[in-house]
Structure 1
Amino acid sequence: MENIRILAIVGSLRKDSFNLQLAKEAEKYLQDKVSVEIIDYSEVPLLNQDIEFPAPARVKEIREKIIKADGIWFFTPEYNHFFPGVLKNLIDWLSRPVSETEGAVLPGKPAAISGITPSMSGTAIAQDHLVTLLSFLNMDIMNVPRLTIPNVMQQLNKDGKLELTASAPYLEKEADAFIAFIKNRK
C-alpha cells in the first residue's frame, strides 16, 4: 500500500446516505492501495465569526486531517440543483484562516468529486457548483474523470443498500485516476 492519504467528505449527514455508501465503495476498492478516511463532521457548528478564534474542537480536528491528507474526495448529493448546505458550511469553515497568522487548509489540495442520486442529473449540476467554489478556494481539482451516477434506485439490492453494477468500473477508474493525480503533484 502506498503512503497516500485520501480524506473523503460526504455531502449528506444521513447515516445510510447513498453518497456515504458510494464513499464506502471507494474506500473498499482503495483499501489495498492507499489510506482512506471518511470524516464525520456532523458536530461542526454553523460558521459564526464570534466563535472562529479559537475554532471549535471538531473544526480543529478536521483541519488537522485536511493538512495531513494528500487529497480530498468529495461525494455530494444534489439538493435543488446544488450541493447540500451542510457541505457548504464545512467548506466555509475550512476556507477560513486557521489563526491570525496561519492561512486556510484547502488551497493547493488535490480534490476529486463524485455523486449519486435518485434523479436523472446524477449530481452533475451540484458538482459543477462545487467545482466553482473549490476553484475559488484554489484547490487543485481533478475535473476528469468525475463520477455522476443517476437513478440510484436501479443499483440497490433487495435490502435497499447500494450495490454498484454498471457504475462500478467508473468508480474504480476515478479512484485510480485520483491516485495518479495526487502522485503527479507530490
Structure 2
Amino acid sequence: MSKKIVAIVGSLRKDSFNRQLAMKAKEITESEAEFEILDISDIPLFNQDIEYPAPEAVKRVRDKVKAADGVWIFTPEYNHYFPGVLKNLIDWLSRPISSEEGQVLGNKKIALSGITPGMSGTALSQDHLVVLLSFLDAKIMNVPRLTIPHAMNLLKDGKLELGNSEKYLIRQKDAFLKFLD
C-alpha cells in the first residue's frame, strides 16, 4: 500500500462516537491505504519545562505523524469548540522537534470529520481547527468535510451504525485518498 494515514481522535473515551467513526473509516480505508488510529491517551499536558527532549509519548506520535502521508482528525465538539486533549496534542505537534527540524504539521495533508449528539455535527469545532491548522501551514482538505449530527439516533446496542451517513464517509475517504496524491 502506498499511502499511510494516521487518525487522531479528539476524545479519550474508549467507545466515543468519534472513535467509533474513526474505526468505521479504518474499515472502509484498509484495502486502499495503511490506516492507524493513534493512541494519544498518554500525551502529557504541554509544558516547556519538559519540551526538550520531548517525552517518549510525544516522540512516538510525532514520528507517526511525520511518517504519514496524511492525518485524518475525528473531533468531538465541546461547547462549540474542539476538545482540550486535541488542542494539547496540536500544541506538542506544532513545536519544533529540534534546532534542525521544524514542526511536523507544516505541509501535512489533513482531513476533518466529526460526530456529535448535538445539531452542529462538529461544524464549529472543525472551523476552529481549520483556523489553527492553517496557521501551522497544514494543508487542509476543506471539501468534503464530514459533520454528523444527532449521534444518539445512530446507535444500535451502544454501537454506531452510520446508516445514510456512511455514503458521506466513503465520499470523504475517496476524496482524501485523491488529496494525498
TM-score (norm 2): 0.99
Which position in structure 2 is the counterpart of 1:113? 112
Q: Note the alpha carbon deviations across 1:95-120, whole angstroms, 9 max, x for none.
A: 00001221111100100000000000
Query: Which whole-Å CA distance do the structure 1 matches of 2:118 and 2:15 have between them?
Result: 17
Deviations 1:56-92 (A, max 9, x none): 0010011110111000000000000000000000000
Distance (Å, rounded) in 2 between the aligned partners of 1:80 and 1:72: 24
1:161 aligns with 2:122: no
Partner of 2:59: 60
Q: Does 1:182 pair with 2:156?
A: no
Report the alpha carbon displacement of residue 160 of structure 1 after superposing the two structures with TM.
Answer: 1.2
Q: Which residue of 1 aligns with 2:168?
A: 170
The one-letter code matched in structure 2 to 1:118 is: P
What is the one-letter code of the residue matched to 2:170? E
Correspondence for 1:40: 39
Q: What amino acid does structure 2 have at the position aligned with 1:43?
A: D
Secondary structure of the equivalent of 1:167? helix
CA RMSD of aligned residues (A): 0.6
* Structure 1 segments of 4+ aligned residues over 2 angstroms from their partners: none
Deviations 1:31-74 (A, max 9, x none): 11100000011111000000000000010011110111000000
Partner of 1:89: 88
Measured in 2, the distance between the counterparts of 1:3 and 1:101 equals 28
Look up the equivalent residue of 2:125 and give its one-letter code: A
- Structure 2 residue runs of 5 or longer lacking an equivalent are none
How far apart, in 1, do the equivalents of 2:27 and 2:75 lie?
Answer: 18
What residue number does 1:79 align with? 78
Q: Which amino acid in structure 2 is aligned with residue 129 of structure 1?
A: H
Report percent identity of matched pairs: 62
Which aligned pairs between 1:98-137 and structure 2 lie closer than 5 A?
98-137=97-136
Deviation at 1:3, TM superposition (A): 1.0
Tell me the matched-pair count: 181
Distance 1:71 1:102 in 2: 19
DSSP 3-state at the match of 1:60: helix
Taking the aligned partners of 1:67 and 1:123, their CA distance within structure 2 comes to: 26
Q: Which runs of 5+ in 1 are unaligned?
A: none
TM-score, normalised relative to structure 1: 0.96
Return the alpha-carbon distance in structure 1 between the equivalents of residues 107 and 34 of structure 2: 20
